[in-house]
């Protein structure tokens, strides 16, 4: 890992209309397909993916049974019945990731929580609409959509 620190400057926010209230949403490669509308959610302790996305990616045969109750900030809950582990390519960095699979209509195709952010050693900035993480050659940047 490179030495030093990850930081953000005013230059990183060029081209972004300020002030804004946008969530950080990125795209990644899952099973060699680009998946858009992935929310970076530091308030979530889990990674979540929608059933329809798993189906479209052709990963139904990799689903394993796993019951887990997910609680929202308003104490609403949903019980997942499955989970899936799949290689994920984020700007050239490949990592195995475990998702809990949910059914129903949601705004995002997937949600990456704190576990993914910590495993990537990533630093997200909603203000700058980007995510930075260390790689051996320096720092990789992923811009929000």
Q: Is the pLDDT at 119 greater than 90, yes or no?
A: yes
Question: Which pLDDT score is estimated for 1?
Answer: 45
Question: Which pLDDT score is estimated for 96?
Answer: 92
For residues 50 and 39, the answer to whether their CB atoms sit within 8 Å is: no
Q: Is the pLDDT at 134 greater than 70, yes or no?
A: yes
- Segment 110-118 shows an average pLDDT of 95
Question: Which pLDDT score is estimated for 3?
Answer: 60
Question: In this predicted model, what pLDDT tens digit does every residue of 75-97 receive, in sequence order?
Answer: 677 778 899 999 999 999 999 99
| Average confidence score pLDDT of the chain | 90
For residues 133 and 59, the answer to whether their CB atoms sit within 8 Å is: no
Question: Which pLDDT score is estimated for 106?
Answer: 83
Question: In this predicted model, what pLDDT tens digit does every residue of 31-85 receive, in sequence order?
Answer: 889 999 999 999 898 999 999 999 999 999 999 998 877 777 666 777 788 999 9
- Segment 127-135 shows an average pLDDT of 95
Structural domains of the chain sorted by starting position, each given as residue range(s) with its CATH number in brackets: 10-143 (2.40.70.10)
CA distance 131 to 4: 17
């Amino acid at each position: 890992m490179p030495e030093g620190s990850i930081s953000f400057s005013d230059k990183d926010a060029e081209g972004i209309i300020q002030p804004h209230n946008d969530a950080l949403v990125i795209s990644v490669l899952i099973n060699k397909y680009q998946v858009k509308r992935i929310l970076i959610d530091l308030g979530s302790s889990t990674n979540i993916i929608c059933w329809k996305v798993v189906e479209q990616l052709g990963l139904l045969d990799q689903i394993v049974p796993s019951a887990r109750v997910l609680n929202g900030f308003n104490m609403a809950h949903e019980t997942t019945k499955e989970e899936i582990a799949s290689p994920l390519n984020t700007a050239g960095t490949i990592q195995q990731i475990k998702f809990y699979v949910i059914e129903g209509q949601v705004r995002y195709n997937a949600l990456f929580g704190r576990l993914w952010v910590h495993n990537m050693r990533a630093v997200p900035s909603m203000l700058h609409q980007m995510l930075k993480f260390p790689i051996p050659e320096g720092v990789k940047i992923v811009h929000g959509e």
